Structure 1
Amino acid sequence: MTDRGALALDPAVRAVLRAAAGRRHPLVLVDGPSGAGKSSLAAALVEAWPGTAPEVVRVDEAIPGWRGLRRGAERLGTSLVAPHARRATGVVHRWDWLADRAGAVARLRPGRALVIEGCGAFLAGRDRPDAVRVWVDAPYAERRRRALARDRGAFDPHWEGWEADWRRYLGRLGPQRTRALRVRLARLEPRGG
């Protein structure tokens, strides 16, 4: 990430760290549309986290295909977020995007802070009122450019379908329905998210 990109993230990182301070096993949900800068924010957050770095789970690891945003996020809430709240081992059922089928299962032990980033993170954490929620956005043209550049053409044929699935999700659980820190990142170098 460029220094300018890091500087753009600094105020958001500080706000999230303040919001998570004092919580024993914090959960941070970083949501927003594709290409907005969620992964960049999550990475900056991990770098700045005091003490033991949090576990980071990307929602798209658990989404079953291009039209599975809701199903994947809900399953992540049941298999990972709920156990995290009980201080139990959580599970991430990964999706193998290249083979277009279910992939490996990852187990995450309790005890560390958890950052869930990606489209659908708020849905995954909907039963955790104690979670720190961060909504990341950017202008449509900028986020489309970043998302397509990040995935080097693999995402191109799926952009419209993904965006439609995203907009359905947005209508149900967007930032206007959820109290969240809001971050707008324009002209950020792509790191993901």
Structure 2
Amino acid sequence: MELPDDVPSRVAEWKYLPAWQVENWPDQLAALTGGRTREQARQIRRIFEHRLRLVRELHGAGVRLAAGTDTGTGYLVPGFALHDELALLVAAGLTPAEALRAATRDAARSLGLPTIGTVARGQAADLLVLDADPLHDIRNTRRIHGVVVDGRWIPPEERRRLLAAVEAAAAQTPPPQQGATMTGCGCGGHP
């Protein structure tokens, strides 16, 4: 919510969420940020930049950073938002390799999960195969060729079919019943 002017009006991956959810985001954003004065908006932007510096300092001090974007937060699509988080880590001063470690090895360690080198024989690992080098440009993590999940190769055609099924399911998902409540604050601190 620190950068409401940078919030896109439409992003391709929003199609993987129910339309009623996406359509509510501008109202939620307006409710949270609409009453800010220009000075308050400048102050909030300075807070965002301070957070980037803080991440850089924590990293420089050897603090383990674990990437893993919030879900249920407006303007974020689970899975896809991680690419934006990686870019923010690089903007904060991490190298692309360090940002990737924050999303893989360090996130796994933070959760007590096995990491490369600690996976027992016979355990399947997940793998992302990219069409471009993310160490050259972290945005290349979006250039996904295929994935290995639980030891099973999912080629590009199957991945497209799976995403199409998610899109179709999202299109068929009705809004919550009248009177239903959401849990969680939805205040993940993202734009």
Task: State the TM-score, normalized to the length of structure 1.
Answer: 0.31
Whichever structure has more strand as a proportion of its residues is 1
Whichever structure has more helix as a proportion of its residues is 2
Structure exhibiting the larger radius of gyration computed from Cα positions: 2
